[in-house]
A and B are shown apart, each in its own frame.
Chain A
Amino acid sequence: MSLAIPNGLDNTVERPGERAPLVLGDTTYHDITETVCRVAETKPSKGWVIGFLIAFALLQWLGICIAYLFYTGVGVWGNRSPIFWGWPIVNFVFWVGIGHAGTLISAILFLFRQEWRTSINRAAEAMTIFAVACAGTFPGIHVGRAWLAFWLAPYPSLNLWMWPQFRSPLLWDVFAVSTYGTVSLLFWYMGMVPDLATFRDRSKNKYRRMAYGILSLGWTGSSRHWIRYEKAYALLAAFAAPLVLSVHTIVSFDFAVSQVPGWHTTIFPPYFVAGAIFSGFAMVLTLMVPARSMLGLEKLITIRHLDNMCKIILATGSIVGLAYGTEFFIAWYGQVPDEQYAFINRAFGPYWWAYWTMITCNVISPQLFWVKKFRTTPWIIVLITIFVNIGMWFERFVIVVTSLSRDYLPSAWAYFSPTWVDWSMLIGSFGLFFTLFLLFCKLMPVINMAETKSTLAKQYHMAHNEPTTPTEH
């Protein structure tokens, strides 16, 4: 075990035929365990505590706003005829989109054998689940009488004796998002079990040992178990991959099956999916870049990981840009006056500022990632990805609000203005997200230790079998 890959090696450069290392430094299996467990075993840092307090306060604020909403009614929002969807749905689509990166990294990159996913997938999956939790909140409270939201479930009700309408895309959404949340949770938890067993075996404290012992289900690392476990993991990945696509596809159906100009476009499914991946990766980077240095994970989450994710952002950002262009072109080519008006109104109507914010942040800012320097400088990455997050929020705003505010009935046209409750809920949802994420950082293994070790094992293997070691510069 003496393969030394020095720190500071630029593992973003990969000579063809040789694979650059994904774990840096003179790292051993034990070092990986130490690095990851230290995060959860030491006392929280001052930064963590402050961050948590802020996030928790915002979460409380969200709770108060929801209580106020329940007590007063949905009139506290800015949703007015004809913009009945407004911010809650914008936030919903935004958060669901964020939630796509996790499962995408875990499942699709797994299926494509992209081994660099191993050190980022855990946090990304956690992020998925928390983002889906944020997303689920909004349609839940948007149904008006939120305490009757269970009517969405097809259960035999003695009082009503009727069923939900399965031809409605909004119901498809219920199934898609809840299935997605459930499967992501299973996937996340299953992936964590071996690492929770590591936590268990390292625990000095009896209660801690018991808690992690229960969570890790008595995992021993038996080979027979590993084989079924790996099979199950591959199967879940195979199920989760189309599931990821389906979720945002179905969210896009909410819009696209209708006849509202600007919504009814066949490119919506793949374009929404690309947008979701785009925003999801941006959020992963926004979180991981600071987390990696705060938690001391630089050897495991290397510059190469960041570089790869930036490339994915560049690719999906370009797809989204192409889709914007195609939409515009077809609106003109189709020569349907309503569609043409909808798109001209987007760009030059009363919401021009939202549209051009979206274009700047989503199409132009990721193009900076063509420059390698930007892909490998952490603070620039964070800056650009924050722009992407903003842009993707505005994309949903543009789609939801501009089309609704100017539909087929000019007498109903109106301008949407959010209320303070709208703002509070958007900010509060970030509180929910960060509270959960910070708790996760402290309580759960933030990096998939087992898989990272297996990557390291391959690295050893390659180093011992091939004449040229990747140590040379």
Chain B
Amino acid sequence: MSDDKNEKKIHGIVAEYTSVDTLLAACRRVRDAGYTKTDAYTPFAVHGIDKALGIKPTVLPWLALAGGLTGTCTALTMQIWMNGLNYPYIISGKPFVLSLPAFIPVAFELTILFASFCTFFGMWALNGLPRFSNPIFTDPRFDRVTDDRFFLYIDSKDKSFDAKGVEKLLGETGTEYINSVVDDDSPTTIPKFLIVGLCVLIGLSIIPALIVAKMRVTTSSQPRFHIFPDMDFSPARDAQQTTTLFADNRAMRPDVPGTVARGQMDADLNFLTGIDMDKFAQVDSDRAEQLVRTYLTPLAAEGEEPTAGAAASNEKSVMETTPWLEQNPLEISDAVVRQGQQQFNIYCSVCHGMDGRGNGLVNQRAQKIMAATWVPPSSLHQDVLYADQYPDGKLFNTISNGIRKMPGYAGQIKAKDRWAIVTYVRALQKSQNASMDLVPASEKSKVEKQKNQVDKALAEAAEAERKKEEERAAKAAAQK
């Protein structure tokens, strides 16, 4: 021990040993001599040294227990509150709050995690570590404590500490090296490059945070900055665009063959076309198949049938060979006739007139302005349009697909209503050729009375007209 060292404060005295047994013997001796502020430094944990030095057991297990219990409670509370109370959400039909078996795994993990944290950090805290500046490190031979040497240390704070006495005591314990532990006079300031480096690091790490903060508080007309695309920009295509995604390069995908539209499952082709398809298939299988195919393509909306191509053509032969339905598929009833009347009045009467004589408002107007291209609508009261010559199916087809200037009404009028119109037209035709025989006996007198009234009123009107005419003629004659 040199003199300059003696001037410094002595923290304690340390002795070096080369084996566990001598160290333990020395420890016992020091303990028996009454020293309490002692410590041994060893390269590995030496068992039995706690007794040799009189070290008390640690409280660490209690810390761990507390940590573990905290973990269990935290986990159970968290799970029950989050999944059972705050955001109840059923999964596998398990209860909200009492899904205890499902909550146990996480509870177990957090128990272990918290207990481990308490043990780990508790141990370092109890040991007073990290502590980078320690007077014991000043001893020149102390570096070997982590290799193969054992040290015994007596602190100067011990109440019976006396440097000479301690050295003497230690000297008798088989040591070859005794030294005083003095203050650590190595520079305690942190090296400048570390501080600068740390500052630079901190400065750099703040930049992203600053950018984020700035973006959050300022407005911008630019789209949000996307680090990850996140499917925010979906490459949606218009129907007519091309794409490389499919082999046929079409963006709009055709329906899968065999797709059936809503309501089409129970579609009746006879009903929709007015043609007896079975017969049609025998007469002209090609066109029948074409027609079937046309109808099997999906319909955009109910009642919007496509033009029955061939059937709609004007070729006489075609129209004649087609086996039209002779019978109206609807069951005729008062309601159907009324429905037909309503639809007729809405759609047909504008041309054909309320009475079906072909003198509707449009026709009148066309006549008035003498429209050059106007083809006057047919009167429905012609022999060629009566049921015996013009079957119901053909009439239905004409309403659906049009004829000459008349457009098809399949798009506007539902199939059922078109059949109702057919019904009404038949009624209308009948009404113009009715004889008294058709009137039921019970109604006969009533009708006759009405007829008489009408006849009388007509006669009176004719009389009045005649008189007016005569007066006018007389007046004219008088003027002459």
Contact A218 B129, beta carbon cutoff 8 Å: yes
Rounded to whole angstroms, the CA-CA distance of A434 and B24 in the bound complex is: 44
Neighbour of A197 across the interface among B39, B61, B123, B146, CB < 8 A: B146
Rounded to whole angstroms, the CA-CA distance of A226 and B457 in the bound complex is: 131
Q: Which single residue of chain B is at the shortest CB-CB distance from A226? A: B45
CB-CB under 8 A for A230 and B45, given A236-B116, A236-B119: yes
A223 at the interface (CB under 8 A from B): yes
Which chain A positions have C-beta within 8 A of B105? 169, 172, 175-176, 246, 250, 253
Give the most central of B46, B123, B131, B134: most A CB within 10 Å. B123
A360 at the interface (CB under 8 A from B): no
The smallest beta-carbon distance between B468 and chain A, in angstroms, is: 88
B89 at the interface (CB under 8 A from A): yes
Contact B83 A220, beta carbon cutoff 8 Å: no
Contact A166 B79, beta carbon cutoff 8 Å: yes
Give the most central of A30, A190, A222: most B CB within 10 Å. A222
B42 at the interface (CB under 8 A from A): yes
Contact B120 A147, beta carbon cutoff 8 Å: no
CB-CB under 8 A for A28 and B148, given A163-B82, A223-B49, A457-B46: yes
Residues of chain B from 95 to 125 with CB closer than 8 A to chain A in the complex: 99, 102-103, 105-106, 108-110, 112-113, 115-117, 119-120, 122-124
Digitize A147-186: 1 where CB-to-B-CB distance is under 8 Å, 0 elsewhere: 1000000100000011111111101100110010011001
Q: Which single residue of chain A is at the shortest CB-CB distance from B124? A: A217
A467 at the interface (CB under 8 A from B): no
Neighbour of A186 across the interface among B99, B116, B131, B148, CB < 8 A: B116
Residues of chain B from 34 to 52 with CB closer than 8 A to chain A in the complex: 39-46, 49-50
A267 at the interface (CB under 8 A from B): no
B300 at the interface (CB under 8 A from A): no
A224 at the interface (CB under 8 A from B): yes
Contact A218 B83, beta carbon cutoff 8 Å: no
Which chain B positions have C-beta within 8 A of A176? 105, 109
CB-CB under 8 A for A147 and B109, given A198-B147, A457-B44: no
A99 at the interface (CB under 8 A from B): no
Digitize A95-128: 1 where CB-to-B-CB distance is under 8 Å, 0 elsewhere: 0000000000000000000000000000000000
Rounded to whole angstroms, the CA-CA distance of A227 and B40 in the bound complex is: 11
The smallest beta-carbon distance between A71 and chain B, in angstroms, is: 8
B20 at the interface (CB under 8 A from A): yes
A454 at the interface (CB under 8 A from B): yes
Which chain B positions have C-beta within 8 A of A451? 44
CB-CB under 8 A for A221 and B145, given A147-B228, A457-B46: yes
Contact B106 A175, beta carbon cutoff 8 Å: yes
Give the most central of A176, A198, A219, A223: most B CB within 10 Å. A223
B53 at the interface (CB under 8 A from A): yes
The smallest beta-carbon distance between B45 and chain A, in angstroms, is: 4
Q: Which single residue of chain A is at the shortest CB-CB distance from B39? A: A222
Rounded to whole angstroms, the CA-CA distance of A219 and B127 in the bound complex is: 10
Rounded to whole angstroms, the CA-CA distance of A230 and B136 in the bound complex is: 22
Rounded to whole angstroms, the CA-CA distance of A223 and B227 in the bound complex is: 54
CB-CB under 8 A for A226 and B42, given A220-B136, A235-B64: yes
The smallest beta-carbon distance between A152 and chain B, in angstroms, is: 12
The smallest beta-carbon distance between B96 and chain A, in angstroms, is: 10
Digitize B127-156: 1 where CB-to-A-CB distance is under 8 Å, 0 elsewhere: 101111110110000011111100100000
Give the most central of A226, A243, A449, A461: most B CB within 10 Å. A226
**A-side interface mostly:** helix
CB-CB under 8 A for A162 and B41, given A201-B144, A218-B134, A253-B105: no
The smallest beta-carbon distance between B348 and chain A, in angstroms, is: 52
Q: Which single residue of chain A is at the shortest CB-CB distance from B52? A: A223
B233 at the interface (CB under 8 A from A): no
Residues of chain A from 226 to 248 with CB closer than 8 A to chain B in the complex: 226-232, 235-236, 239-240, 242-243, 246
Rounded to whole angstroms, the CA-CA distance of A239 and B228 in the bound complex is: 40
Rounded to whole angstroms, the CA-CA distance of A6 and B127 in the bound complex is: 40
Contact A201 B106, beta carbon cutoff 8 Å: no
Contact A229 B53, beta carbon cutoff 8 Å: no
Which chain B positions have C-beta within 8 A of A183? 112-113, 116
Contact B44 A225, beta carbon cutoff 8 Å: no
Size band of the interface chain B makes with A: 35 or more
Rounded to whole angstroms, the CA-CA distance of A29 and B149 in the bound complex is: 9
Digitize B225-256: 1 where CB-to-A-CB distance is under 8 Å, 0 elsewhere: 00110100000000000000000000000000
Contact A175 B110, beta carbon cutoff 8 Å: yes
Residues of chain A from 69 to 115 with CB closer than 8 A to chain B in the complex: 70
A194 at the interface (CB under 8 A from B): yes
A33 at the interface (CB under 8 A from B): yes
Neighbour of B83 across the interface among A163, A232, A460, CB < 8 A: A163
Contact A186 B120, beta carbon cutoff 8 Å: yes
Digitize A238-267: 1 where CB-to-B-CB distance is under 8 Å, 0 elsewhere: 011011001000100100000000000000
Rounded to whole angstroms, the CA-CA distance of A201 and B147 in the bound complex is: 9
Which chain B positions have C-beta within 8 A of A168? 91
The smallest beta-carbon distance between A350 and chain B, in angstroms, is: 28
Residues of chain A from 309 to 352 with CB closer than 8 A to chain B in the complex: none
The smallest beta-carbon distance between B336 and chain A, in angstroms, is: 46
Contact B143 A201, beta carbon cutoff 8 Å: yes
A375 at the interface (CB under 8 A from B): no
Give the most central of A176, A231, A243: most B CB within 10 Å. A231
Q: Which single residue of chain B is at the shortest CB-CB distance from A203? A: B143
B residues with a Cβ closer than 8 A to A are 18-20, 39-46, 49-50, 53, 55, 58, 60-61, 64, 68, 78-79, 82-83, 86-87, 89, 91-92, 94, 99, 102-103, 105-106, 108-110, 112-113, 115-117, 119-120, 122-124, 126-127, 129-134, 136-137, 143-148, 151, 227-228, 230
Given contacts A186-B116, A223-B55, A461-B20, 19 further A-B pairs with CB under 8 A are A165-B91, A166-B102, A167-B92, A179-B110, A179-B113, A190-B120, A214-B130, A218-B134, A219-B146, A226-B42, A228-B60, A228-B126, A230-B45, A231-B61, A239-B116, A240-B112, A246-B112, A253-B105, A449-B43
A residues with a Cβ closer than 8 A to B are 1, 28-30, 33, 70, 145, 147, 154, 161-169, 171-172, 175-176, 179, 182-183, 186-187, 190, 194-195, 197-198, 200-202, 213-214, 217-232, 235-236, 239-240, 242-243, 246, 250, 253, 449-451, 453-454, 457, 460-461
When A and B form their complex, which 6 residue pairs have the shortest distance between CB atoms, in order from nearest? Answer: A29-B148, A232-B123, A217-B130, A163-B82, A198-B146, A201-B143
